[in-house]
Structure 1
Amino acid sequence: MALVHPAYAQLRQVTPNAAVMLADNPSVMSLEGTNTWILRAPGSDECVVVDPGPLDEGHLARVAQVPVAVTLISHRHFDHTEGAGRFSELAECPVHAVTPQYRHGGGSDLRDGDVIEAAGLRIRVVATPGHTADSLSFLVENDNSVLTADTILGRGTTVLDDTDGDLGDYLQSLRTLIRFGRGYTVLPGHGPELPDLETIARGYLAHREDRLEQVRAALRTLGGDATARRVVEHVYADVDRSLWGAAEKSVNVQLEYLRSFS
């Protein structure tokens, strides 16, 4: 029987060129855990790894069982990067990332439009900031799949990091993904894969625009100087309170966006 999500500590094939190893680090923010993606063309004796995940020796050792040509980091969050340095040692591979502190083993910068040719694949870097300033997606040109990291999740919606997230950037990133068109499989940083990138990205965009209008309406009721917490209590009253902390981060980013026009 084919494996389905979630399947911990097991290599689960998702497309002809992409398999996933789910890290056992579930939380409110990481859903069932972080997806570490292992990419290689059929017959290749090496792979490309995207997001080694947490510093979990068992997880990292399982991922490193196939020779690794290069490792890519989608964005700075620790559940994607914490194990990167140790993984570089185990797999004896370079780790490429936007942010220098997450580069290891001689790894270099990643920029929009870069193409990584390894493991029989062509993988194009697509800048998709908004969740964080350094967020990237990766297009596997060989089979029309896109690794969206935390820009689009396998279920639920994305939290915008109020440290360096930006709503304007995020809306533009969703529009960038929509322009890929139909027929692209979504390989997310958390949760199960999804069948059609354009449809999912349009749904994400509509949801985010709806939430933004709800925040605008809350400000009309509460006053323009209302705190993010008061807005969350107003807009997310029907949402489990355990999620309010995450919602507050996104609301902070939305308030900054709205107030930039005032």
Structure 2
Amino acid sequence: MNASLEIERPYARAEQVGPLVRRVLARNPSAFTFTGTQTYLVGPHGKGEIAVIDPGPDEPEHLSALVEAIGDSTVVAICCTHTHRDHSPAAAPLSALTGAPIVGCAPLSLRDDGPRADASFDDAYAPDRVLADGEAVTGTGWTLRAIATPGHTSNHLCFALEETGALFTGDHVMGWSTSVVSPPDGDMTAYMASLARLYEREQDRVYYPAHGPEVTKPRQLVRGMIGHRRQREKQILRQIESGCTRIADMVPRMYKGVDERLWPAAGRSVLAHLIDLEKRGITTRHDDTWALTHTVEA
């Protein structure tokens, strides 16, 4: 998790960031959202048909900026990658203002998704249409195809803009940090499979994440993310082998130099790794301690 990367913060105004793609940054920066949630407008700038991806928080300034950016365009879809509260709450008020349907991920709500209070689930999210993997939303001159990428959340979708090779990655792949995978809904097994799926997509030329800058070498980044997770896994196994068997004791040793405000979330990712290892028969759990089922190979 790297919060040192600095980029310009053009809040509440639309920027053209690529062919058929504009971006509006919400003023909700935090240790988890970096500079804030980035909402994307897909389609021609003018009087054409557009889609809005991840409308973001229900904040007056952000909604006003979106309405101004939409202008005379017709919004044919408001698409949500997942339902954490920094992504989907503005969908309903934006739908009321534009008449556009809410489409994309399935509803999902849990009472407890770990320590990330800023990322609790949006209980009010009510899509008009849930997109299955491979289904598309279309407008004049563009096609957005849903790519199921569970892991960060079980309902997470990415959206591929087929005409340009752009992929909107939500929180699955971000331009500034690794994603938090927080059980019970966050699933490391699914997350790694979703990363592998994206790595196999050679047609994606650029990623537009919900937080942080665009990714211009996407397969290289995804390969590095897979390697990073495998290194974390090995680090966890070494911790257990050395006698450090509780997550609360592992995190300070594993995340030295990381903002301590992120340690609770880091602990959730460690738990997700341990659950994945348990499924694979490598670790076992005894209350709040963990053990190896066999000796870790050097």
- TM-score normalised per structure 1: 0.91
Partner Cα separation in structure 2 for residue 163 and residue 185 of structure 1:
31
**Residues 69 and 119 of structure 1 are in contact (CA less than 8 Å); yes or no, is this contact kept in structure 2?**
no
Cα displacement (A) at 1:162: 2.2
Percent identity for Structure 1 against Structure 2: 32
Q: Which position in structure 2 is the counterpart of 1:239?
A: 258
Q: Which position in structure 2 is the counterpart of 1:123?
A: 144
Alignment of 1:63-142 (within 5 A): 63-65=66-68, 66=70, 67-100=74-107, 102-104=125-127, 107-142=128-163
User: Mean alpha-carbon deviation: is it higher for 78-87 or for 180-189?
Assistant: 180-189
Q: For 1:158-198, what per-residue CA distance to the aligned partner results, in whole angstroms no more than 9, with x for missing partners?
A: 11122301111111111111111266101001011110211
3-state DSSP class of the match of 2:249? helix
Q: Which position in structure 2 is the counterpart of 1:56?
A: 59
Runs of 4+ in 1 over 2 A off after TM superposition: 41-44, 97-104, 237-240
Q: Which position in structure 1 is the counterpart of 2:3?
A: none
Greater helix proportion: 1
Cα displacement (A) at 1:251: 1.0
Q: Which position in structure 2 is the counterpart of 1:153?
A: 174
- Aligned mate of 1:8, from 8, 11, 33: 11
Cα displacement (A) at 1:44: 5.4
- Listed as ranges, the gaps of 5+ residues in structure 2 are 1-6, 108-123, 282-298
Calculate the aligned-residue CA RMSD, in Å. Answer: 1.7
3-state DSSP class of the match of 2:271? helix
- Listed as ranges, the gaps of 5+ residues in structure 1 are none
**Residues 165 and 203 of structure 2 are in contact (CA less than 8 Å); yes or no, is this contact kept in structure 1?**
no
Q: Which position in structure 1 is the counterpart of 2:164?
A: 143
Paired residue type of 2:156: S
**Residues 21 and 35 of structure 1 are in contact (CA less than 8 Å); yes or no, is this contact kept in structure 2?**
yes
Please tell me whether Structure 1 or Structure 2 has the larger radius of gyration of its CA atoms. 2
> Between Structure 1 and Structure 2, how many residues are aligned?
255
Q: Which position in structure 1 is the counterpart of 2:235?
A: 214
Cα displacement (A) at 1:119: 4.3
- Aligned mate of 1:167, from 176, 188, 205: 188
Cα displacement (A) at 1:71: 0.6
